Structure 1
Amino acid sequence: MPSPIPTIKPRPHHADIIARLPSEWASWPRDKSSVNGNVLQAEATPSHYRQRKLRWPKRPVVFISDPHADAMAFEASLIAAGVAERKTHSDLGHLSLTKKGKRTEIIIGGDCLDKGPSNLDLLRSVKQLYRLKARVTLLAGNHDLRLLMGLLALARKKDVGNQHLFVRMGKKVVPLFREVFDQYLVNSKWEKNIPDEETCRKRLFPGEDWFKAFPFHAAGFLTMEGIEREVRKMASKNDSFEKHCHASGLSLRQVYAASLKCQQLFLHKKGEFNWFFRKMELVAKRGSFLFLHAGLDDTMGQMLLKSGPKYANKAFHRNLKRQDLFGFYYSSIANTFRTKYRDADLPLTYRGVKAVHKSGVHVIVQGHVNRQEGQRITIKKGLVHVEADITLDSHSRKVEGLSDYGIGATLINKETGIVGLSCDYPTAKVMTAKELQSIYEEGQAEG
C-alpha cells in the first residue's frame, strides 16, 4: 500500500503546518464510544453479507467539513491533504493546486459560516478554488442555510412559520454582520432609509404571539420533542440576541443595515457571494459513499432509492425558491443538514436504512458532529458513518481548550482506504478498503 500520509513540499510557508501534523500512521482505533455503543467492533459476520462489495469513488476525495469562518484552518487543511500549496506567499488567498489536487475532488462538507475569525475571508478562500478550476463540491450545512433563511425571512411578509427565522440565527451570526458593516458600510451613509431602533426591532424579532401560535403551526411537521425544543431554543435566543449585537458594538439599526447588505451580497445576481448558495448541493454520491453534512431520515432514504441524489439536489434548490420557508426548513430535505438522530429530529428507522442500502449507499461521510481527537468511524442505525468534523475554527478550539487553528482532512480512495488526518491526533488514522468492507458487513448484520 502506498503511504497514506500526503506529501507536502517542505516550503518555508508550509513549515508550521508540517510541524503540527502526524508523521506516522496507524490502523484506525477500535473503541466503544459511539451513539449506539457500536464502533468498529470486530465480530463474526454472516456469510450472505460478505457478498455485497463497496464501490469506491472513481477519483480520490478530500473531505473537509465545518471550517466555520476560519480561512487559515481551511487553507492549511488543503495543504495538509496534499491538494494545494503556497509557492511564494504565506498569507491567505495565494494557493495553487498540486498535481494531486488537479485530479482530486475536494468536497466541502458544509458549515462554512459562523463562529470565526472571519466569514468573508473563508468565503474568499473557497472562491479561489473555483478560480483555480479545482473539482469542488460544496455541501449545505445548517449554519449556512440558517443565514439564508434569516435573510429570506427578512425580505418576505411575516407569518407564523418564518417570523422567528432571523433571530433563530443566534449570536453566532453576529460576527458576520460586524464584518459586513465594517467592510462595506462603516464609511457610507448607511443610515439613509434605515428606520428607527424600535421599528428595526419589530422587523427583526418574532411577534409576541409567536410562542403561542408556533406549536399549532408546526403540529404534523415536527415531532412533539422537536416543537418543544424549537420553542425553548427561541425563548433563549429571543432574550439574548440583542445583547449579543450590543456586545459586538452593533445597534439594531446597524444590524438591520448589515442584513440588507448581506441580502445584496448573497442573494442578488451580481452580489460578491451570490455563487455560495447557488453552487451548494445537499448530497454527493460517489460510489457507495454518500457525502452530506448531517444525516438521513426515512423520507430521504426513500427519495434516494426511488429518485437518486440528482433529484435530491434539484429538490433542494427548488424548495429554496419556495415562499414557504417553514415548509422547507422543517422538511426531510433540511433534516439532512440538521439531524443528529435525536428524538427531536425526523426519524431514521430500519425501513429508511433498508432503502438507503438498496439505493447503493453504504457509507455516510458527514460533518456536523464535533470530534476533538480526530475523525471517528461509527455504526449508526445500521449505517456506517464517517464523522469528519474535527474542530477546525480557532474560536471553537479556544472554547474547547484546544490551541491555535485546526488542521486536518479526511482522504478517501481505494488505494489507501480512508485516512483521518488531524493535528489533534498523534498518528494518521488509516482504514484499508478491506477493513472498511468488514465494518460495512458488520453494520449490515446489525441493521
Structure 2
Amino acid sequence: MYKMASMTALTVIPNVSDQPYHSAILARLPSEWAPWPDDPTSVNHDEALSTFVKRAQKKSFTWPKKPVVFLSDAHADAEAFEASLIAAGVIERDGPHPCEYTLTKFGKKADIVVGGDCLDKGPSNLTLLRSLAHLYRLNADVTLLAGNHDLRLLMGLLSLERETDAGSQHLFVRMGKKVIPLFKEVFDQYLADTQWDRDIPSEAACRQALFPGNAWFANFPFYAAGFITAEGIQREIGKMTKKTQSFEAHCSHAGLSLQQIYAAAMKCRSLFLKKSGEFSWFFRRMRLVKKRGSFLLLHAGLDDHMAEILANHGVKYANRAFKKNLMSQNLFSFYYGSLANTFRTKYRKADLPLTPRGAYVARQAGIQVLVHGHINQHFGQRVTLKNGLIHIEADITLDAHSRKKEGLDGHGIGVTLIDKKRGVIGLSCDYPQAKVFKPSRKGKREGAQ
C-alpha cells in the first residue's frame, strides 16, 4: 500500500485543506492508495481489469484534457453531495451550513459531472438542488446528466397536464414512495402556512387524477406490445400493481393526504416547469451523455440502438434528441425508448439489450469506457465488462436513507476522478484504500506490486 502523502504523480486528493469543517470528512476517507484491485465482487473482474489495462495502453485510447470529477446518485442528500465535492478537492467550506462553500484552485479547472439521480429518497431534496445551483453560481464547469429518478419526476408532473392514455396515465404513481419525501418538503416549505386547499379537487377527484384507471392493467400490455420487451411489460405490470396498492398508504405515513400530494405536485410544476420557478434550471441544464476522451459518462448504460446513434451522429446529436423528446407530447415513447434506456437500464432482460455488436459499434465510435451510476455498490467503485465494453460503476451509495436501509453508517463520501496524469481514482469512505488505475505504456500498471 502507499501513503497519500508520499504520492507525487498520483496525488489522489488535490490539496484538500485541513479546515475544521473538513476534519470529520477527512477522518472517514482512506489514508492510503493501492493499484485498482481485481475485485472478487465484480462481474468477470479479472477479465474486466485486464481488458481495461490492454486497451488503455493503445495509442487510440485518449484521456480527458481536463481532470474529470464524476459524482452520481446523491439522492437528495446534500450533506453527502458537498462532502464528496470536498473529498475530491473541488470545494472548501467558508461556513458550517449547506451552500456555504467556494471553489478551490483545482475546482476551478475541473470538469465536474453530476451523474444523475439528484432527487428522491431524502433527506434534503431542496437543499441539494440549492447546493447544485450554488455550484453553477460559482461558475464551476458543471455538467448535469439525466438520472431515472430525476426524469420520473418530470414524467409524473407532465402526465398531470396532458390527456393521458394507457401509455402514460400510470406515470405519476409510478414514481412510488421514494418521491414522497420531495412532496413533503415542498408542502412544508411552500404550502403549509397558506390556503393551499383553495381550488384543490376533492380527495376522490385527486385519487382519480393521480392513479391509473382500472382498465390500464388490461390495456397497457397491448399498448406496449412491440415497443417494450415481453419481460419489460410483465415487470411494469407487476411494479404498478404493488405501487397502486401501496402509494396512498405511503403518503398517509408521511402525513400527507392525496389532496396535499396533489397540491405539492402542482407546486412542483411551478417550481420546475415554469421559467420563473426556483428550479426551472434543473431540467433545462440536463444532458443525456458526455464524452471526454475515450470515456462516455452517463447515468446507466447503452443499448444497441443508442450505440448506433452515438456512432453515426455523435454526442451533440444525442443530447439534442434528448432535449427535443424530453418535453414531447408522447411521454410513453420517450420514457420507454432508447434515449431513456440510457438512464434506466441495468442490463436486465426487461431492458433494451446491449449485444456484442452494440458494444463493438460503441468502441468503433471511440467509446472504450462507460462511467456511470445507477447500480449502487457498498465497497467503492468497481470495473466490469459487459459484452466487451468496459464499465466503471461509480454509484457508491451516498445517501443516508439508502445506507441505513443497507446496513451502512451515516451519509456516504466518495467520488471518481479521471485524469491523464493521475489515471482513474475511485475514492470511497467504504473502501480502505483509494483505488488507483494508471496503466503504463510498458504493459504494467504504474504502482503495481
Q: How would you bin the TM-score normalised by the shorter chain? A: over 0.9
CA contact (8 A) 1:416 1:433 kept: no
Aligned pair in 2 of structure 1 residues 176, 44: CA closer, same or farther (>3 Å)?
A: closer
Query: TM-score normalised to the size of structure 1?
Result: 0.95
Aligned-partner SS, 2:92: strand
Equivalent in 275, 288, 291 of residue 282 of structure 1: 288
Render the CA deviation track for 1:304-346: whole Å, top value 9, x for unaligned: 0000000000000100121000000000000000001110000
Residue type of the alignment partner of 1:27: P
CA contact (8 A) 2:53 2:439 kept: no
Q: Partner of 1:81 in structure 2?
A: 88
Q: Partner of 1:445 in structure 2?
A: none
CA contact (8 A) 2:294 2:366 kept: yes
Q: Partner of 2:119 in structure 1?
A: 113
Aligned-partner SS, 1:161: coil
Q: Partner of 1:353 in structure 2?
A: 359
Shift of 1:40: 3.8
- 2:411 and 2:56 map into 1 onto residues whose CA distance is 42
Q: Partner of 1:261 in structure 2?
A: 267
Q: Partner of 1:31 in structure 2?
A: 39
Q: Which moved more, 1:37-46 or 1:12-21?
A: 37-46
Equivalent in 175, 180, 186 of residue 174 of structure 1: 180
- 2:90 and 2:318 map into 1 onto residues whose CA distance is 29
Query: Structure 1: which 5+ residue stretches go unaligned?
Result: 440-447
Shift of 1:2: 3.5
CA contact (8 A) 2:425 2:437 kept: yes
Residue type of the alignment partner of 2:412: G
After the TM superposition, which residues 155-304 of structure 1 pair with which residues of structure 2 at under 5 Å, given as runs?
Answer: 155-304=161-310
CA contact (8 A) 1:297 1:349 kept: yes
CA contact (8 A) 2:360 2:388 kept: no
Q: Which moved more, 1:379-388 or 1:166-175?
A: 379-388
Q: Partner of 1:443 in structure 2?
A: none
Equivalent in 48, 62, 69 of residue 62 of structure 1: 69
Shift of 1:434: 3.1
Q: Partner of 1:125 in structure 2?
A: 131
- 1:245 and 1:218 map into 2 onto residues whose CA distance is 29
Aligned pair in 2 of structure 1 residues 52, 254: CA closer, same or farther (>3 Å)?
A: same
CA contact (8 A) 1:113 1:144 kept: yes
After the TM superposition, which residues 306-385 of structure 1 pair with which residues of structure 2 at under 5 Å, given as runs?
Answer: 306-385=312-391
Render the CA deviation track for 1:76-118: whole Å, top value 9, x for unaligned: 000000010013x111111100000000011000000001111
CA contact (8 A) 2:416 2:427 kept: yes
Aligned pair in 2 of structure 1 residues 73, 315: CA closer, same or farther (>3 Å)?
A: same
Equivalent in 75, 79, 83 of residue 72 of structure 1: 79
- 1:435 and 1:213 map into 2 onto residues whose CA distance is 58
Residue type of the alignment partner of 1:104: A
- 1:375 and 1:44 map into 2 onto residues whose CA distance is 15
Aligned-partner SS, 2:89: coil
Aligned-partner SS, 1:62: strand
Residue type of the alignment partner of 2:310: L
Shift of 1:35: 3.7
Q: Which moved more, 1:135-144 or 1:15-24?
A: 15-24
- 2:183 and 2:60 map into 1 onto residues whose CA distance is 48
- 2:236 and 2:61 map into 1 onto residues whose CA distance is 38
CA contact (8 A) 1:67 1:112 kept: yes
RMSD of equivalent CA atoms: 1.9
Residue type of the alignment partner of 1:86: R
CA contact (8 A) 2:311 2:362 kept: yes
Q: Partner of 2:5 in structure 1?
A: none
CA contact (8 A) 1:31 1:40 kept: no
- 1:80 and 1:41 map into 2 onto residues whose CA distance is 25
Shift of 1:34: 3.1
CA contact (8 A) 1:375 1:390 kept: yes
Q: Partner of 1:12 in structure 2?
A: 20
Aligned pair in 2 of structure 1 residues 43, 300: CA closer, same or farther (>3 Å)?
A: closer
Residue type of the alignment partner of 1:81: A
Residue type of the alignment partner of 2:82: E
The alignment covers a number of residue pairs equal to: 437
CA contact (8 A) 1:53 1:437 kept: no
Give the % identical residues.
61
Query: TM-score normalised to the size of structure 2?
Result: 0.94
Tell me if 1:408 matches 2:411.
no
CA contact (8 A) 1:81 1:409 kept: yes
Shift of 1:50: 6.5
